[in-house]
């Protein structure tokens, strides 16, 4: 029985070697596990060189000596200010928001040729495109044409930057002008309002003058008609006097009519 027990004993060196091997295997397995977060892709490198395909989000096993670079492929929002010149050479500061996505198809090439700071290559190009298109508009027309300008810049950015990123949207939220230009615009608006006010007053005066002329014409016509009626029928004059007489004496006699046909008319003496 003692002989059997001796044969089952494992030499200490062999046991230690087995333990070390197990630890190394477990460590190797742990070092081989890589996780790629949601919204990212993994680029595998070996001694500084890109190898293999990109990794989708999830758990992956790779060789321990290889590294995984995680790249964000979600929509990134960048808010910037940039200065441009309008068609009439006015300095304009524009607030612009850029929404970009690094597509998995472009990720490897972008990482290899540009690096993780690829947005630093994108922003100057967007600003240059904005400056080119903003220079087509006069400063005072920028606000009313902001959506049109935005559409032009958005389309041009998609065409020129598609090899780096996918431009999802461009937003131009505000324009700021120099104090001198804003004061000039304010003076222009005041002058325009004064001009409109003067024009309205002139129109009003013209209408009133036309009304006065028409009234005068009406009165003149009435006088003419009345005079003609007196000439044709002298009794009309006597009737008008009688209508206005209050019936009180003294009275005086006035001859009304022509030299050959005078009609006495009684008029009250005041």
Q: Are strands 262-268 and 251-257 parallel, antiparallel or unpaired?
A: antiparallel
Taking the whole predicted model, whether its pTM rises above 0.75 is answered as: no
Cβ within 8 Å of residue 184, ≥6 positions away: none
Q: What span, in angstroms and rounded, lies between the C-alpha atoms of 241 and 78?
A: 95
The reported pLDDT for the residue numbered 1 is 44
Q: Vertex 63, ends 60 and 64: CA angle to 5°? A: 100
Contact 170, 134 (CB under 8 A): no
Partnered with residue 203 across adjacent β-strands are none
The reported pLDDT for the residue numbered 208 is 77
The reported pLDDT for the residue numbered 7 is 47
Tell me, what DSSP letter sits at residue 140? G
Q: What span, in angstroms and rounded, lies between the C-alpha atoms of 141 and 175?
A: 11
Nearest to 67 by CA among 20, 101, 116, 34: 34
The reported pLDDT for the residue numbered 108 is 87
Contact 37, 57 (CB under 8 A): yes
The reported pLDDT for the residue numbered 47 is 86
Contact 170, 150 (CB under 8 A): yes
Cis status, amide bond into 250, omega within 30 of 0? yes
The reported pLDDT for the residue numbered 67 is 87
Rounded average pLDDT per 10-residue block, the chain, 270 residues: 50 68 61 81 86 84 84 90 89 92 87 87 92 91 90 94 91 85 63 65 77 76 69 61 59 51 52
Q: What span, in angstroms and rounded, lies between the C-alpha atoms of 18 and 60?
A: 27
The reported pLDDT for the residue numbered 6 is 47
What DSSP line would sit under 50-107, residue for residue? E-SPPBPSEEEE--TTEEEEEEE-S-EEEEEEEEEE-TT--EEEEEEEEEEE--HHHH
Helix (H, G, I), strand (E, B) or coil at 9: coil
Residue 15: CA count within 13 A, CB half-sphere: 5
The reported pLDDT for the residue numbered 135 is 93
Q: What span, in angstroms and rounded, lies between the C-alpha atoms of 51 and 259?
A: 133
């Amino acid at each position: 029985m003692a002989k059997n027990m001796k044969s089952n004993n494992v030499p200490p060196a062999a046991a230690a070697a087995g333990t070390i091997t197990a630890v190394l295997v477990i460590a190797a397995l742990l070092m081989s596990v890589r996780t790629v977060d949601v919204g990212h892709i993994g680029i595998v490198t070996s001694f500084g060189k890109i190898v293999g395909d990109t990794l989708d989000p999830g758990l992956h096993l790779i060789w321990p000596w290889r590294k995984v670079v995680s790249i964000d492929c979600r929509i990134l929002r960048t808010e910037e200010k940039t200065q441009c010149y309008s068609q009439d050479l006015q300095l304009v500061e524009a607030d612009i928001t850029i929404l970009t996505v690094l597509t998995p198809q472009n990720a490897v090439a972008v990482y290899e040729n540009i690096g993780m700071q690829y947005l630093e290559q994108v922003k100057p190009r967007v600003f240059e495109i904005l400056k080119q298109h903003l220079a087509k508009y006069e400063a005072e027309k920028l606000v009313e044409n902001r959506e049109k300008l935005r559409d032009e810049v958005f389309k041009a950015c998609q065409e020129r930057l598609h090899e780096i990123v996918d431009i999802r949207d461009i937003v131009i939220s505000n324009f700021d002008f120099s104090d001198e230009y804003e004061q000039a615009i304010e003076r222009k608006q005041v002058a325009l309002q004064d001009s409109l006010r003067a024009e309205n007053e002139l129109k009003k005066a013209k209408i009133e003058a036309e009304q006065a002329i028409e009234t005068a014409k009406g009165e003149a016509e009435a006088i003419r008609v009345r005079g003609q009626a007196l000439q044709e029928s002298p009794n009309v004059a006597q009737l008008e006097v009688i209508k206005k007489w209050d019936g009180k004496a003294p009275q005086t006699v006035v001859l009304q009519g022509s030299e050959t046909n005078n009609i006495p008319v009684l008029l009250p003496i005041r």
